[in-house]
Amino acid sequence: MYVVVAKSRPLVCEHVPRPVGAGARGIAQERKRLTVLDDNRKILLLGSGFVAAPFVEYVLRRPENKLTVASRTLANAQALAAKYPNNTTAVAVDITDDKAIEDLVAQHDIAISLIPYIYHAKVIAAAVKHKKNVVTTSYVSPAMMEYDQAAKDAGITVMNEIGLDPGIDHLYAVKTIDEVHKEGGKLKEFISFCGGLPAPENSDNPFGYKFSWSARGVLLALKNTAKYLEKGKVVEVSGPELMDSVRVLNTGYPGYSFVGYGNRDSTPYDKRYNIPDAETIIRGSIRYDGFPQFAKALVSLGFLSEEPVAHLAADAGDITWSQVIAQVVGINSTAEDALKAAIIEKAGIADSPRLAQILDGMRWLGFFSDVKAHRRGNLLDTFCATLEEKMQYEEGERDMCFLQHRFEIELKDGSHQTRTSTMIEYGTPGGFSAMAKTVGVPCGIATQLILDGKLNQKGVLAPMTPEINNPIMELLEKENIGVVEKIL
């Protein structure tokens, strides 16, 4: 008689009959033949947004994986599940309902949290209680890190920062830094810029940008303070000054004209990447040249304001964009020439070399027209409604993700060396976008490695060590996602 106990428990064989005429090899073969692998690995996917589909496609290549897609709106979960009907179930869940989340987590082997980052700690708490693993693509927040010891005590893996940025950027930063250290060298400068943009042929608007998710999130990021280390000094750039801090990027690819600006706080990466000798550490976002000047003009006019505005309230009367702009710049006229003059004065762009481009962009947005604004209560959300209407990807268009690390290295013999690691990934019209693929696939790989027991470190983790990263990179490159490394 054979008794096979479910996955994660030891296989118990009460009695193994010896095959007639067989030795030890025959017994081993019989054991192997009769050992039944658990074909019911239960994966919970919280969130059904646009990066979820590549994740689902990847994990469902394995027939033993059974996936539950949970979303606030059942129809959204059903739509994603319908694309992958084998081994998928769709459910609705309210992320603010602690008991509902806990019950779902308890029913699965691993929880993938692709919901807003503020809810990850809630998911981790449930996972700790029920000893389930977790994967997110988000930065580790202080609230998440509070569960590190509890996760270790529970014997679970909570893997985070495994998308594109953060994610793929970490993998190839750590790879080169580890190689330099093993060669006896030191990292003197680490400069990394990453961004998701329309492919050059589809960057056909004044921003050179299109939205594959919330325009609000993209714009609010312009208010964040950037902090980085440059030539041994900590530099802090406040949100209002962020667009003034952009730099032209020398990528080594002349066909791409990018500028970059700091993203959040880069200063902890001396410890996270183990580069204490670095005098410059900058991690930033890229945009096409022209974006910062246009964005700065809009910021100067107050378009990031979330303050309630009476004439933009939902129950207010219809209002045209030219009337909105007249209110913004404080004049009574809605004539285009008058509006332009007032914009130039208020935004302080009279001497800008991009003046004509900025004004053309505002005309394209409809600022001087009788088109009715979509009133959303404040200037930011009213503006976002127009951006999301005018700046979506059209059918047949493709996006592009560009990531580049630049390493300035002091070799063991004291000489200097510059290395770069560059990833350029394009979306596939009718298929996955580059952004969805480069976020969803790494997440799927990490999930599968945890299920297979190959990624088994415990606690709240990020991809910061070769032991974690190398298996992920190996599988990532099998999906044709990776970097080109050069010594300049």
Active site positions, annotated: 165
User: CA 162 to CA 416: how far, in whole Å?
Assistant: 32
Identify the residue whose tokens are 């594109």: 164
What backbone torsions phi and psi does residue 69 show, to the nearest 5 degrees? -95, 120
Q: How far is CA 23 from CA 12, 18, 28, 30, 32, in A?
A: 21, 8, 9, 11, 14
Q: How far is CA 143 from CA 84, 106, 120, 267, in A?
A: 34, 21, 9, 20
Q: Give CA angle at 288 (286, 294), nearest 5°.
A: 105
Give which of 76, 80, 79, 71 is closest to 100, Cα–Cα: 71
User: CA 134 to CA 328: how far, in whole Å?
Assistant: 46
Look at the chain and count its residues.
Answer: 488
Q: How far is CA 314 from CA 30, 217, 220, 321, 461, in A?
A: 72, 21, 22, 15, 44
Give which of 474, 479, 488 is closest to 172, Cα–Cα: 474
User: CA 330 to CA 398: how far, in whole Å?
Assistant: 40
Check if the beta carbon of residue 285 is closer than 8 Å to that of residue 194: yes
User: CA 221 to CA 213: how far, in whole Å?
Assistant: 13
Helix ranges, 330-432 (H)? 336-347, 355-365, 379-390
User: CA 26 to CA 19: how far, in whole Å?
Assistant: 7
Q: How far is CA 429 from CA 67, 74, 199, 209, 366, in A?
A: 26, 27, 11, 17, 29
User: CA 445 to CA 442: how far, in whole Å?
Assistant: 5
Q: How far is CA 277 from CA 177, 234, 404, 443, in A?
A: 12, 14, 21, 31
User: CA 484 to CA 429: how far, in whole Å?
Assistant: 24
The secondary structure of 8-50 as a DSSP string is TS--B-S--PPPTT--HHHHHHHHHHHPPPP--EEEEEE--ST
Identify the residue whose tokens are 């127009």: 386
Check if the beta carbon of residue 172 is closer than 8 Å to that of residue 399: no
What backbone torsions phi and psi does residue 215 show, to the nearest 5 degrees? -65, -30
